[in-house]
Amino acid sequence: MRQIRYLWKASKAVHGRFSAIALIVLIYTVLNLLSPLIFSFYIDSVLGSEPVTNPLFQFLVEKAGSIDVLKDNLWTGFALILFVYAFVCLFQYLRGRLNAVVGESVTQNIREELYDHLQHVPYSYHVQNKSGDLIQRCTSDVDQIRRFISSQYSEMIYSVCMALIASVLLFSIDKQLAKLAVVTMPVLIVFAYWFFRRAQKIFRSSDEAEGVLTDKLTESISGIRVIKAFHREVYEIERYDEKNKDYLEKTFDLLKQLGLYWSFSDLICYIQILLVVLSGTIMAHRGELTVGNLFVFISYESMILWPIRNLGRILADLGKVSVSIDRLLEILEVPVESQEGKEVNLLGNIEFQNVCFHYENQPDVLKDVSFTIHKGQTVAILGPTGSGKSSLIHLIARLYDPASGKVLLDGIPTTQLNKQHLRKQVGLVLQEPFLFSKTIQDNISIAKKDASIDEIHEAARIASVHDVIEEFELGYKTMIGEKGVTLSGGQKQRVAIARTVLNATPILIFDDSLSAVDAQTDAAIREALKSVSGSCTTLMITQRIATAKEADMILVLEKGQITQIGTHQQLIGEKGLYQRVAEIQNRGEELQNVV
């Protein structure tokens, strides 16, 4: 039921058109059923001598003057049938047009709702779920719903209307033969329902296998540079073939069930038609049934059986749709991030009070962390891989909340601040910056849509990338590839720095984002940053002592705990990780000078 409720909600804007489709299909069905009756009338009453009992044809005879007039002008029958089929074509067109409009409108609403929801779910949800599977749900599963609404909905109404109306007409002609004509309908319906239940289970496994396959494809395309660099093409092809084979086997299982249904339902239908033809022929030979009515029975029999048999395919597609909707609801039922909280214009004071943090079902990555950073200070954070440096800054931007303890900004716990408003005031440059497939100017101005070209150029100068951009043929209008693939690692980092600097936030965070630039460029960027960072609080995750030593304060993290706090002069003379790293880097510099 929840699937039906969701579709009803998603199609709210086109409820009236659903009703229009039902009405059009009803008229289309009646017009299709009218043609065999016209043939029967002309065979039995115009060419034969059977009395006219149908009110519609009694009206026709009355308008023509007499039955003899129609007999002398048999072309009227041809014209009448042509007229009916012209309207059949018209309503078929209207049906197809409305199907397309409704299908596309509903799926547009679903796509927009999904995209909007995915933008507002917590960051942790995206970390825990595979992007390929999410893409598959937002494309293949949504398209499954579109196909059902744009075709199978009207087909289902047509099948039901055709079976009911044709059955009533047959019973009005001859009850005994009509009973024989519909005797297999319950069998077909039960068989269709059985197929629906079985296909539903198989489709879920097929759909999930497609999600795994899509995720593997997404991962391979995203990591093609690594695959090429390590000559892993054959290995990745084998892994993809393995996933593809699994998807093929599960989909083929569904196709086998479909083939089984079509073959057995065809057999039932042909036996039913044969029984009606044989019994009707015998009855016509005995004079118990007119030739025209026999024609009606044979015509209607196909009109009843094939739509009922087609109901199995419709139910199978309905099973697929129910699975697809379930998979979409798994996304839509994830709670979005709360946007409640205070909207405070921050100054830049940061305080951690006994903060502990862990990812889901993982041990603590931060353990009882406490420190205070004052407005305008520059703080370097140094520590080995896995020590919790990135987790610490994620807490400041409130991508996560602490498991215990408090993170305070200007004395206010981050859990009391509005997330969206908070993140607008925290400039974050990641170690692996993401650039969009747009121009360089568009990528920089993402942070500030109304930025002038002079502001963009100044931000690029601070990031030491302005001169590089000017050397490109199109300058700031240069298109960069997906994820910035046409730029070097250092160039991407500097464009990302320019993007963040442009926004002039009170808190500026560099997550090891100078790692891909040389020491000289690093120094130039840090020097330029002094002109804009005087009024903002700057945190820099770094492994370079040359970068850290100019900070007002240095935090040393080891295994999730702060083991050292102080300035460069204090920590260089204190036994610990900072001193060891400094000694190693100094020896490395001495060796370079010798060379």
User: What's this model's pTM, rounded to 2 decimal places?
Assistant: 0.74
pLDDT (tens place) for every residue of the chain, 595 residues total: 688 888 888 888 888 888 899 999 999 998 888 888 887 888 877 777 778 777 777 877 787 777 888 777 888 888 888 888 899 999 999 999 999 999 889 999 999 999 999 988 888 888 788 888 888 888 888 888 898 888 888 888 888 888 888 888 888 888 888 887 777 778 777 777 777 777 767 777 887 888 788 888 877 877 776 777 767 788 888 888 888 888 888 888 877 877 777 788 778 878 888 888 888 888 888 887 788 887 888 787 777 777 777 776 777 777 778 888 888 998 899 888 888 888 888 888 999 999 999 988 788 899 999 999 999 888 999 988 888 888 898 899 888 899 999 999 999 999 999 988 888 888 888 777 778 888 888 888 887 778 888 888 888 888 888 888 888 888 888 888 766 667 777 788 888 888 888 887 899 888 876 665 666 666 677 666 666 655 788 898 888 888 888 888 999 999 889 999 998 899 888 888 888 888 887 775 554 554 4
On whether the CB atoms of residues 427 and 509 are closer than 8 A, the answer is: yes
What order of strands is seen across the sheet that includes strand 378-382? 426-429, 507-511, 537-541, 378-382, 553-558, 561-566
Select 2-332's CATH number: 3.40.50.2000, 3.30.70.1350, 1.20.1560.10, 3.10.50.30.
Answer: 1.20.1560.10
Q: What is the model's pLDDT at position 595? A: 44
CB neighbour list of residue 384: distance below 8 Å, 6 or more residues apart: 558, 577
CA distance 423 to 459: 20
Element (H, E) at 196: helix 185-222
The token duo for 74 is: 């048999």
313-330 burial by CB neighbour count: b if 16+ within 10 A, else e? bbbbbbbbbbbbbebbee
The DSSP 8-state label assigned to residue 483 in this structure reads: G
Alpha helix segments (H runs only) across 42-74: 55-64, 67-72
CA distance 116 to 112: 6
Query: Closest Cα partner for 395 from 387, 385, 386, 405?
Result: 405
Q: In Å, how far from its chain's centre is CA 271?
A: 45
Identify the three-state secondary structure at position 440: helix
Select 350-425+505-594's CATH number: 3.40.50.10490, 3.30.1370.60, 3.40.50.920, 3.40.50.300.
Answer: 3.40.50.300
Element (H, E) at 371: strand 364-373
- Give the domain ranges of the chain: 2-332, 350-425+505-594, 433-498
Q: Which amino acid is at 42?
A: Y
Q: Which amino acid is at 522?
A: D
Q: What is the largest CA-CA distance in the chain?
A: 122
Q: Which amino acid is at 593?
A: N
CA distance 258 to 246: 19
CA distances from 404 to 336, 455, 539, 560 (A): 22, 41, 22, 14
HEC secondary structure over 178-195: HHHHCCCHHHHHHHHHHH
Q: In Å, how far from its chain's centre is CA 111?
A: 6
Question: How many C-beta atoms lie closer than 10 Å to residue 338's C-beta?
Answer: 11
Identify the three-state secondary structure at position 256: helix
**Interstrand relation of 412-413 and 404-409 (parallel, antiparallel or unpaired):** antiparallel
**Interstrand relation of 426-429 and 507-511 (parallel, antiparallel or unpaired):** parallel
The token duo for 594 is: 């010798």
CA distance 16 to 101: 12
CA distance 239 to 582: 44
CB neighbour list of residue 492: distance below 8 Å, 6 or more residues apart: 433, 435, 484, 516
CA distance 215 to 312: 32
On whether the CB atoms of residues 108 and 100 are closer than 8 A, the answer is: no
Q: What is the model's pLDDT at position 594? A: 45
CA distances from 500 to 62, 124, 382, 543 (A): 86, 23, 22, 21
- Sequence length of the chain is 595
CB neighbour list of residue 213: distance below 8 Å, 6 or more residues apart: 132, 240, 243, 244, 246, 247
Whether the domain at 2-332 and the domain at 350-425+505-594 fall into the same CATH topology = no
First-residue to last-residue Cα distance in the chain: 75
Q: Which amino acid is at 305?
A: L
Q: Which amino acid is at 203?
A: F
